[in-house]
Amino acid sequence: MKPPRFDKRIRIERPVRGQGLDAAGSGTWEPVAEMAAEVQDMLPSRGERMAEGITVTERPARVRVRYREDINATMRVLIGKNVRGDDGEPVWQTSRIAAIVSEPAELGRRQWSEFMVQQHSAPGNTA
């Protein structure tokens, strides 16, 4: 098995429920880990489908990281990088947010974890 090229930075986040009776839909996300990863986009031809007459674009990708046991399909992945802020401190800059859509598979003997993510884009003009 060829070793992965960990050439991207990702942040994995888990959902946090809102509190109280009127908290429906007010949940937030909290970081689980930030790490190097290999992100492989899937072929574009499989990324579009029709839903009720509207073309919905999906951007599936395969993500491989060093082995972890604390990743599951309720989480999301932010693909991006750390940049320097005005004060010189590192600031996270997100280029893409994707939902984890498969439970991670163990590759090798606990060498790597691999899972699928999917980013959805709304149909129509978003500008």
pTM score: 0.76
pLDDT tens per residue across span 67-103: 999 999 999 999 998 888 889 888 888 889 999 999 9
- Per the model's pLDDT, the better-predicted residue between 5 and 50 turns out to be 5
Query: Which pLDDT score is estimated for 127?
Result: 46
Q: How many CB atoms lie within 10 A of CB 11?
A: 20
Q: Between the CA of residue 25 and those of 17, 19, 21, 101, what are the distances in Å?
A: 8, 10, 11, 20
Q: What is the mean pLDDT of the chain?
A: 83
Query: Which pLDDT score is estimated for 125?
Result: 46
Domains parsed from the chain with CATH numbers: 8-16+27-121 (2.40.10.270)
- The lowest-confidence range among 26-35, 53-62, 99-108 is 53-62
